[in-house]
Structure formats: structure tokens, C-alpha cells
Amino acid sequence: MAKYFLPNKVFISPIQYAHTRNLFLISMSIVYTFAFASLYWQQPGLYSDNGILPLRVQIQQQEKIQLFIVKLANFFKWTPFRIMECVLLISIFLSSLMIIFKCLRTSLTFTMLWFAYYSCFQVAGQFLYFQWDTLLLEAGFLTIFVAPMRLLYLKRKQTEDFLYQDRITLWLIRWLAFRLLFASGIVKLTGGDKTWWSLTATTIHYQSQCIPTPLAYYAHHTPVWLHKLSTALVYMFMSGTGILFFSPFRIHRLIACVIQISLQILIALTGNYNFFNLLTIILCFGLIDDQFLGYSQWESVEDENKTKKSFSWIITLFRRLIHLIILISYIYLTIRWFDIHWDSKQQIVLTKITFTRAQFDLFLRRFLPICLFLAWCSLIFTIGRSVFIAIRRPEKIYAKIFHTLITISYGILAMSLFFVSMVPFTVIERQTGKALPYELQSWYNKYQDYHIFNAYGLFRSMTGVDGRPELIIEGALSTKNPKWKEYEFFYKPGSLSASPPFVAPHQPRLDWQMWFAALSHYQHEPWLAFFLYRLLTNQPEVLRLIQTNPFPTTPPKQIRILLYRYNFTTPPSKDYWQRELLNNEWFPTITLESQWFMSYIEQLNMKQINKPLPKSILLDIIRSISNLMNGTIFTWFPVVIALVFVILRKLLCTNPHKPLVVKKDDEWYQPVPLKDKIN
């Protein structure tokens, strides 16, 4: 007679994170596909020999750095641009296949994707110097360890989907999510920006962000009291719930996950931040488990020293008491710190910060070490539990030894990554950072160029307080009595009647750099001169990056840049924007005869060259197909195709051997015979 594992118990939960891991890996494959496809579509305009920042020039400026793309170019006797093009296409193809086929989601393939993105990052210059690019590099690096360490992930039976190190590797993802979200909330106050401290930042943010969405227009016009309340809640949700990431109670982690994902969805609805919000949501998957996803498959061993049922109500009461205390404390602190109360006269909710900058700095100096300590305790507990499962679960002694050694190795790796990552994390509080051992700083400096440990924190200070500064490029066909015409971009504000677009997950890197340039001075943005030179020569690769070229047949004789202040209009209005001229010559008017300008172009080897690219029929065909779509559609194209294949496979290849899940006494479990235990 077969014996079964009974549900009264010390749960070992053998596949508690298998489906969570698979969801995380397929999601990372999707993000990689978005990132590579978006960059591929923009590559000619940005990096070709006649692009804004040609690779040949970028490489000359980094001669001392060992660039992988340059090594490949020398080996295959091809141009770096063609090599980068091949790297991007192969990566798009590989990541798309990884969306479809689970067997390809291994450490090897994710290593290839990480190395491909890092290779492009090395040569791409400032167009890839965004926080989400470094976040993708760090998240992609950790994904290498989350994925199974195999050439192909082929399993003979479903139970082999379980990996003993899943808890440890997904904890690293959780730690990265905590560092990102906690710091993103904290830096808004440590930066000392008046709008963040007065809780009025979002009255500016929705219109001043780089590329607003259509919903940002309406969010901007919500009442000021609602802006203040939402800003206070953002602080508490983004940073305040971060400490729950390391709670020993599963329900706390799930609540924190739902809150953070909901917040990211709201941010994505009001602002175009490419794949950043999606990637942040994916990192929150480190907080969930298979049961949350609906895979309630449990296996247990009988606990010889199990607690008597008569005491179970005490444990339940104790748990609920802790939950209640945390909930009440959270609500109390939110109301106290932000003085949230109802004003009966104005019939609104009033909100203001009740602590000073000095008090906040003191609190952070004391609280950050507590966060690090709790994270360390959580990691040690996670490693200990994983090692216990590796020792307890297998029946054969050699299997116990093998899995235990592997799990311990992952534990040592996790501790090493945790310690080194504390260095960039503690930049939000210098005193805590100075207290770290010097050896950690040394290790961080050693691997800093690989961007596998990064500091995070967006919107430390709010720009565009009086309205968003916007650069408008104009050209004219004559130098005498010129009739100026505007260049229209695809996504950044220009036309007053054009609605803000939905762009994500595509990142229009030229539009983003134009936003940063408007906040700076043209002398600090050398790429802008190269861009204007390409417009003066009507360079087709560069013109594909903008929506409207007012001079399609004859290049303009002269070009200038004006600085405007843009603000949202007040509903109801037929226009979305209104603008005011601030500087009618932000960048001096230039022609191809402007001696100072052309000397600068020649000095940096940016002058137009007519040397054709090496012939490649396949690459040219793919490029011509991509040119038929705009950047947003092309970014979605490979992902949609892959997801269609996934859906068709699910519909046509249903699994008739779906495991039976039984619910008994309000507890989910699956009876598993002893003979079917994993060795």
C-alpha cells in the first residue's frame, strides 16, 4: 500500500518557486527583446558613419578600452557598425526564441544577452547612459544565476523543474527591487528639492517629464490637494513598504508586491519610461511564489514534533496580532508624518510634511543600518532554509551531497553580491557608507565598469518648475529674409495641437537627449552640433529619427535652435500645449559656411563620408523591413510574434496530465507517493 505525505506538517515546498522563476525568466526575455529591438531601429541614425554619434568616432575616443565589438570587427574584417547590427539582430532573434521555448531560458543564453547589451553599452556613448540601461545590466546579470545552469533546460518529468537554489537567487532579485524602489523614494527628500518637500512636485512633474502620455494631461489638472496627498502616499508606498520585502511573513511580502506593481502601472499610464516600469514590475516577482500564481502544489513530510492542534489557534492569533500592529503603525505614521486630515471648511484633505530636513537625515542615518540588518537576516534565513531542503529532500546520499554543495555555493555567491551592492546603495546616506569596510569599496571599484552594482534614484530634483523648457529646431532655405520652418519630432512636444503619445516600451533616445539638452547649455551637449550638421546635409539615416522634415528635396541653408517654455493648456482647449519664447538663439544660427562650426565638425572627425557599408543582402533586407515601421511598432513586433507562438502552442498542445490539486481543511496540498519523491 502506497504511503502519502500528509498535510499536517513541516512544509518543504519543493516547487514553491519553480513557476515564479519561469515567469521571471520569460519576462526578462521580453524586456531584452524590447530593449534590443528599440535600439536596432534607431541604430543607423545614431551610430552609422553619418549618424549623430558614429561608432568609428566613439571607438577612437576609447582606444585604451578593450571593446568586444571592435575585437569582432577586427576578426571578421567588418565595420563596427555592421558587427553591432549583427549583435542586435542575433539578440532579438535569441530573446524572441527564449520567450517561446522554455528550454532556451538557461544561464548560457542569458549570459549571451547580457554580454550583447553590455557590448552595445560600451560603444553607444551617452545615448545609452540612462538609469534603466544600467538597471537592465544589473538585473540581467542576476538573471544569469536565476536561470538553470544548463546548456538546454530539458527535463524528463515535471518535478525536475524544481531547483534548490530558487529561494536564494530570487532573493537577490528582491534585494535589487528594494534598493531601486527604496532609494527612488528617499532621494526625493535627500536632494532637498523644495517641490518634493512641499509635496507639490507632481503639479509640475506630469508636464515637465520627458515624454508625457495623454493621461498626464488630465493628471496635471487634478486638484492641488490631491497632488499633495498622492505625493505623500508615493513616499510611503515606494520607500515605506520596502521594509516589508524582508518580512518573515508571506502576506507582508505579497502586499508590498501588489502595492509596488500598482504604483508602477500608474506611473506607466502617465509617463513614457520605455521598459523601465515593466522591468521594475518584473523585479517585484522576487516577492511572490507559486501559490500566489495559482500553482498550489505542496509536498510535506510528517513532523514528528508537530505542534498539537490545541495550540494552533494561539499561533493564528499571534500572527493576526502582528499583522494588525503593523497595519495600525503604518497608518499612524503616515498620518503623523504628513499631517493628513480633513478640512471641513474647504472640504478637502490637507497634507504637509511635519518633519524637518535635519530630522529626516537623522532618521535615515539610524534607519538605513536597520534595513541592511533585516536584509542580512532575511538572506541568512533564506540560505539556511534552502540548504535544509537540499539536505532533507533527496533520499540518496550522493544526491544530498551534490545538491547541498550547489546550494551552499549559491549562498556564498548571494552573500558576496549583497555585501558589494551595499556600497552603491548607501550613497543615499554617506555616514552609513563610510562605515562599510574598505574591502567592499575596493571590490565595487574593481567591477564598477561592468555596471553589475549600481546606485539608483530618479527625479532627485524637479525640473521645469515654471514650465518645461523645450528646444525647437528651425531651418530656412535662404540666408536672406529667411522663412523659418520647424522640424517635428515623433514624440517630444512640438506642435501645440499634438496629443502626448504612448511610446513605451520603445525609448526614442534622440527625443530623450533633446529633453536633457533643454535643461543644459549647448556647449555641454557636443552631440547636438553633430545632429544639426546631419540636418544641414539632409542625412537620411538621421532624418528617420524625426517625424517631419520640412525640406525633403533641398537641404536647408541655415539652422537655429530656439528655447521655449511649454505648459499644458487648461481644458477645454483644442490644443494640448501653450508656449512662450525664452531665447530666439539658444544655439547660434549656423550654415555649412560657418567657419567655427565646420572647424569643430572636422576637428572631431564628424564630416560626412560617402563610403558605403559592406554589402550584406540579408542585413539590408531586414533593415528595409524595419524602415517600413515606426520605432514603437517595430519594438513591439518581435514580442507580439513570439507571444502569438506561445498562445498557439498552449491552444494546440494542451497538457492532459495536469497535476491534481486537492483542497482540504482550508489548506492546499497534493498527495505525492513516497516512490515519486525526487532523488
**Among the residues of 519-630, which ranges form H helices?**
526-536, 540-543, 595-603, 617-626
The answer as to whether 667 is a domain residue is: yes
Beta pairing partners, 584:
none
Mean pLDDT of 462-487: 92
598 falls within a domain: no
Rounded (10°) angle between helices 357-392 and 166-190? 180
DSSP state of 4: B
Q: Could you tell me if residue 665 is left (phi over 0), alpha (psi between -120 and 50 degrees) or otherwise beta?
A: left
Residue 161 neighbours by CB under 8 Å, 6+ apart: 15, 18, 22, 155
Same domain, 577 and 634: no
Residues 6+ apart with CB under 8 A from 214: 499, 500, 501, 502
Q: Which of 529, 560, 592 is the last residue of a domain?
A: 592
How many whole angstroms separate alpha carbon 87 and alpha carbon 48?
A: 15
124 shares a domain with 29:
yes
Element housing 573 (H / E): none
Structural domain tally of the chain?
4
Pick from 2, 658, 679, 9: which is nearest to 298 by CA? 9
**Helix (H, G, I), strand (E, B), or coil: what is residue 590?**
strand
Instruction: Using pLDDT thresholds of 50, 70 and 90, give the confidence band for residue 671.
Output: very low
Query: Are the C-beta atoms of 352 and 228 separated by less than 8 Å?
Result: yes
- Kindly state the cell numbers that stand for 508: 526614442
pLDDT for 309? 54
- CA-wise closest residue to 120 among 101, 103, 140, 100: 140
Say if residue 10 is in the same domain as residue 119.
yes
DSSP code string of 161-183: G--TTHHHHHHHHHHHHHHHHHH
Same domain, 679 and 565: no
* pLDDT over threshold 50, residue 642: yes
Per-residue pLDDT reduced to its tens digit, 272-326: 999 999 999 999 999 999 989 988 654 444 444 444 455 677 888 888 999 999 9
- In this model, does residue 214 exceed pLDDT 50? yes
Is 602 a member of any domain?
A: no
Query: Does the pLDDT of residue 222 top 60, yes or no?
Result: yes
Q: Looking up cell 538605513, which residue turns up?
A: 368
pLDDT of amino acid 677? 38
Instruction: Choose one of 577, 592, 607: the last residue of a domain.
Output: 592
663 strand-pairing partners:
668
Q: Is the residue at 115 inside a domain? A: yes
Q: What pLDDT, on a 0 to 100 scale, did the predictor assign at position 63?
A: 65
How far, CA to CA in Å, does 291 sit from each of 88, 158, 196?
Answer: 37, 17, 39
Burial per residue of 154-180, b for 16 or more beta-carbon CB atoms within 10 angstroms, e otherwise: eeeeebebbbbbbbbbbbbbbbbbbbb
Host domain of residue 410: 365-448
Task: Answer yes or no: do 629 and 506 share one domain.
Answer: no
d(CA 154, CA 609): 50
Question: Residue 100 is placed in which grid cell?
Answer: 517561446
- What's the grid cell of residue 262? 500598482
Are residue 244 and residue 345 in the same domain, yes or no?
A: yes
Residue-wise pLDDT tens digits, 579-593: 999 998 899 999 999
pLDDT of residue 317: 87
Q: What span, in angstroms and rounded, lies between the C-alpha atoms of 201 and 463?
A: 9
- Tell me whether residue 165 is in a domain: no
Last residue of a domain, one of 418, 448, 478: 448
- Same domain, residue pair 283 and 302: no
- What letter does residue 306 receive in the DSSP assignment? P
Between β-strands 558-568 and 577-591, what pairing exists: parallel, antiparallel or unpaired? antiparallel
Instruction: For residue 263, tell me if it sits in a domain.
Output: yes
d(CA 484, CA 558): 9
DSSP-derived secondary structure letter, 271: B
Q: Is 599 among the domain residues?
A: no
> Exposed (0-12), middle (13-18) or buried (19+): which is 610, by Cβ within 10 Å?
exposed
Inter-CA distances, 177 with 1, 135, 138, 172, 243, Å: 48, 10, 11, 9, 11
Residues 28-37 have a mean pLDDT of 98
For 375-432, how does the pLDDT look when each residue is reduced to its tens digit (9 = 90+)? 999 999 999 999 999 998 888 898 899 999 999 999 999 999 999 999 999 999 999 9
Q: What pLDDT, on a 0 to 100 scale, did the predictor assign at position 77?
A: 86
Q: Please, which residues bridge with residue 472 across strands?
A: 562
Phi–psi pair at 552, nearest 5 degrees:
-70, -25
The answer to whether residue 461 is domain-embedded is no
Query: Are residues 186 and 260 located together in one domain of the fold?
Result: yes
Confirm if 660 and 4 have CB atoms less than 8 A apart: no
Phi, psi of 547 (to 5 degrees): -80, -45
Q: Same domain for 178 and 258?
A: yes
pLDDT reported for residue 665: 38
406: nearest Cα among 145, 111, 157: 145
Q: Are residues 69 and 184 in the same domain?
A: no
Alpha-carbon span 137 to 131, nearest angstrom:
10
User: Which one has a higher pLDDT value, 572 or 44?
Assistant: 44
Strands 546-548 and 488-489: antiparallel
Domain shared by 502 and 473, yes or no: yes
Q: Angle at Cα 644 formed by Cα 640 and Cα 646, nearest 5°?
A: 115
Same domain flag for 202 and 338: yes
